[in-house]
A and B are shown apart, each in its own frame.
Chain A
Amino acid sequence: MDEKELHIGEHQEQDEQNPVARELHTEEFLVNMGPQHPSTHGVCRLLLTMDGEVIVKVEPYIGYLHRAIEKICENRIYNQITPFMDRFEYVSSMLADWVYALCVERIGQIEVSPRAEYLRVIFGELQRIASHLIYWGVFAMDLGAVTPFLYGLREREMIMDLFEETCGQRLTYNYIRIGGVSQDINPGFEQKCKKFTSYMCQVLEDYETLLNENPIFLSRTKNIGVAPPELSVAYGVSGPSLRASGVNWDIRKDDPYGYYEKFEFEIPQGKNYDTWDRYQARVIEMRESCKIIEQALDGLPEGDPTFKMRASFKLPEGEYYARIESSRGEMGCYIVSKGEKKPYRLKLRGSSFNNLMIIPEISKGLKIADLVAIFASYDIIMPEVDR
């Protein structure tokens, strides 16, 4: 199939050349997509202004999951806040715990033991793979293929087993705590984890053969939703979506935290800035994450990864904006401390918040089915947007 045939711009040109289409007056109408819609990934509502099949305007309405986490955190002591971070970003809870712990550690000048830093890298990268597996399955499901969803969640369950034996939870881990991690790994964890990463690398090849040459999948993703680098930077898009727009920006490398400087990995960059590139960036990232995990397991130092402290402590006065590279992009946490047991102000920055803002810009002139593909390719999840 010729890819150019499906390029959206050419459809419009054909319409303009066609005298009937030019003369027929069509009236614009509104289509309400969500809050309950399988492909808005939660409770996002998109109000579409349509001209026939073509999207004229997209207006997102958010806040259906606004749980006031920032307000709640102002009234909790520092150790009580970590569980709320799990719920702030439940698809990659480990990384949300990490950004909060990082922020408190930077304000309080708390040293983290090397073993804890290594464990954070291992669990953070496992979480990144788990999150991208959901992305991979759900993205394909939004485009009409159900099988990838079952495959993706099959592999995710293996990661859930590793998490569960370490911290006892499947979804909201509360594992990365201030100053360290909640507990050490069990004996035999390294072997299981290595077995998983080598299995994962094999499975990724299967994934690629399943989707990468599928003509329907290609024609629904290639050249759809092109987001040029300048536009992406201006809208504050981050993470794999920004890298797919051809921008070399990864906080793990460019503003390093933890021990990421010690590991070797590559950052994939897109060339066409389209939906396909955004999909591909995440698949490559899973492979890179496997590499990081293997390096971290090989270099895992001995020691005690936990941090002993009182349940309620006073954090010194100060403020800091910490940020990490979550599976969706830049996840930020800004804490203002006034030297009390509770934070004076805690602000969370979810990457999906900015990633959602660019969707109305790049989906003008496309069809609704393309909007579904774009929305899924940005990996928007609503708790991060609404908080």
Chain B
Amino acid sequence: MGVASKIPVYLEKAPGGGILVTSIDKILNWSRASSLWYMLFGTACCAIEMMCTGASRYDFDRLGMIFRASPRQSDLMFVAGTITHKMASRVKILYEQMAEPRYVIAMGGCAVRGGPFYYDSYAVLKGIDKVIPVDVYIPGCPPRPESLMEGCLKLREKIRKEKMADWSSDSAK
């Protein structure tokens, strides 16, 4: 039965065969969580670690994550690196260009709270959550690829718990 036999958690066979029963929430969340395509968008140091995670040794593809160059095609945005005031409005535009449902991971100290540039800097935004909503925060300067992957697994957990009612009301706002 191909895919359906591998995902018993989500599908239940009805007696008599030929019919599979699941809830919309489960099947949608499963498909979303399993193919998070992320936007190729890095601003600073963390972008290099993001590249490493996507490349040979750490191999992001096995989580079903493939990079896309355009925000229109991506579900997930890693805010990888320092965001300055000059860049903040552009990040917001990029976020708005992404199709819903969309998720944001703040990667590294700078995106979380300004990082080492919190004090004495006139140019750095102190936390990306002042501009766009964030789903998962990953600390580190920069985070190792392992912690980036752990963050993505956490995001998948979060997506699996979503209810259809939640995100539809969110988009109506």
A residues with a Cβ closer than 8 A to B are: 35-38, 42-43, 63-69, 71-72, 74-76, 83-84, 86-87, 90-91, 134, 137, 149-151, 153-154, 156-157, 160, 170-172, 382-383
The contact sample of 13 A-B pairs, CB cut-off 8 A, is: A36-B71, A36-B94, A38-B69, A63-B84, A64-B84, A65-B44, A65-B82, A66-B84, A72-B119, A75-B119, A153-B56, A157-B52, A160-B52
Q: Are B142 and A172 in contact (CB under 8 A)?
A: yes
Q: Are A43 and B116 in contact (CB under 8 A)?
A: no
Q: Are A67 and B117 in contact (CB under 8 A)?
A: yes
Give the contacting residue for B90; candidates A35, A134, A151, A160; CB below 8 A.
Answer: A35
Binary per-residue interface labels of chain B (71-90) against chain A in the complex, 1 for a CB within 8 Å, 0 otherwise: 10000000001101011001
B residues with a Cβ closer than 8 A to A are: 39-45, 47-49, 51-52, 55-57, 69, 71, 81-82, 84, 86-87, 90, 94, 116-117, 119-124, 141-142, 144
Give the contacting residue for B45; candidates A74, A76, A87; CB below 8 A.
Answer: A87
Beyond the given pairs A67-B44, A71-B122, 8 more chain A to chain B contacts, judged by CB atoms under 8 angstroms and listed by A's residue number, are: A36-B90, A37-B69, A42-B44, A75-B120, A76-B120, A151-B56, A160-B52, A170-B144
Chain A's nearest CB lies how many Å from the CB of B140?
Answer: 10
Q: How far is the CA of A371 from the CA of B49 in the complex (A)?
A: 26
Residues of A within 8 A of B84 (CB): 63-67
Which of A43, A68, A149, A154 neighbours the largest number of chain B CB atoms within 10 Å of its CB? A43
Residues of B within 8 A of A38 (CB): 40, 69
Residues of B within 8 A of A87 (CB): 44-45, 116
Q: Are A35 and B87 in contact (CB under 8 A)?
A: yes
Q: How far is the CA of A112 from the CA of B69 in the complex (A)?
A: 47
Q: How far is the CA of A75 from the CA of B116 in the complex (A)?
A: 13
Q: Are A67 and B124 in contact (CB under 8 A)?
A: yes
Q: Which residue of B lies closest to A38 (CB)?
A: B69
Chain A's nearest CB lies how many Å from the CB of B97?
Answer: 10
Q: Are B47 and A65 in contact (CB under 8 A)?
A: no
Q: Which residue of B lies closest to A35 (CB)?
A: B90
Given A38-B69, A65-B84, verify A171-B124 contact (CB < 8 Å).
Answer: no
Which of A72, A134, A154, A160 neighbours the largest number of chain B CB atoms within 10 Å of its CB? A72
Give the contacting residue for A154; candidates B48, B57, B117, B141; CB below 8 A.
Answer: B57
Q: Which residue of A lies closest to B41 (CB)?
A: A36
Given A43-B87, A149-B55, verify A67-B123 contact (CB < 8 Å).
Answer: yes
Q: How far is the CA of A383 from the CA of B84 in the complex (A)?
A: 12
Q: Which residue of B lies closest to A137 (CB)?
A: B55
Q: Are B120 and A68 in contact (CB under 8 A)?
A: yes
Q: Are B40 and A157 in contact (CB under 8 A)?
A: no
Chain A's nearest CB lies how many Å from the CB of B53?
Answer: 10
Q: Which residue of A lies closest to B87 (CB)?
A: A64
Residues of B within 8 A of A383 (CB): 44-45
Q: Are A66 and B57 in contact (CB under 8 A)?
A: no
Q: How far is the CA of A51 from the CA of B55 in the complex (A)?
A: 38
Q: Are A68 and B56 in contact (CB under 8 A)?
A: no
Q: Which residue of B lies closest to A66 (CB)?
A: B123
Give the contacting residue for B43; candidates A43, A72, A150; CB below 8 A.
Answer: A43
Chain B's nearest CB lies how many Å from the CB of A284?
Answer: 24
Residues of B within 8 A of A86 (CB): 45
Q: Are A42 and B116 in contact (CB under 8 A)?
A: no
Residues of B within 8 A of A160 (CB): 52
Given A149-B55, A153-B55, A171-B142, verify A72-B69 contact (CB < 8 Å).
Answer: no
- 9 interchain residue pairs of minimum CB distance: A153-B55, A154-B56, A90-B45, A68-B121, A64-B87, A38-B69, A72-B120, A157-B57, A68-B123
Q: How far is the CA of A134 from the CA of B84 in the complex (A)?
A: 25
Chain B's nearest CB lies how many Å from the CB of A206?
Answer: 14
Q: How far is the CA of A157 from the CA of B123 in the complex (A)?
A: 33
Residues of B within 8 A of A137 (CB): 55
Q: How far is the CA of A87 from the CA of B56 in the complex (A)?
A: 24
Q: How far is the CA of A43 from the CA of B57 in the complex (A)?
A: 26
Q: How far is the CA of A65 from the CA of B82 in the complex (A)?
A: 7
Q: How far is the CA of A68 from the CA of B90 in the complex (A)?
A: 19
Chain B's nearest CB lies how many Å from the CB of A137?
Answer: 8
Q: Are B90 and A64 in contact (CB under 8 A)?
A: yes
Residues of B within 8 A of A153 (CB): 51-52, 55-57
Residues of A within 8 A of B86 (CB): 63-64, 66
Q: How far is the CA of A43 from the CA of B86 in the complex (A)?
A: 11
Q: How far is the CA of A74 from the CA of B45 in the complex (A)?
A: 22
Q: How far is the CA of A86 from the CA of B5 in the complex (A)?
A: 50
Q: Which residue of B lies closest to A149 (CB)?
A: B55
Given A42-B43, A64-B90, A72-B121, verify A171-B49 contact (CB < 8 Å).
Answer: yes
Q: Are B120 and A90 in contact (CB under 8 A)?
A: no
Residues of B within 8 A of A149 (CB): 55
Residues of B within 8 A of A43 (CB): 43, 87
Residues of A within 8 A of B42 (CB): 42
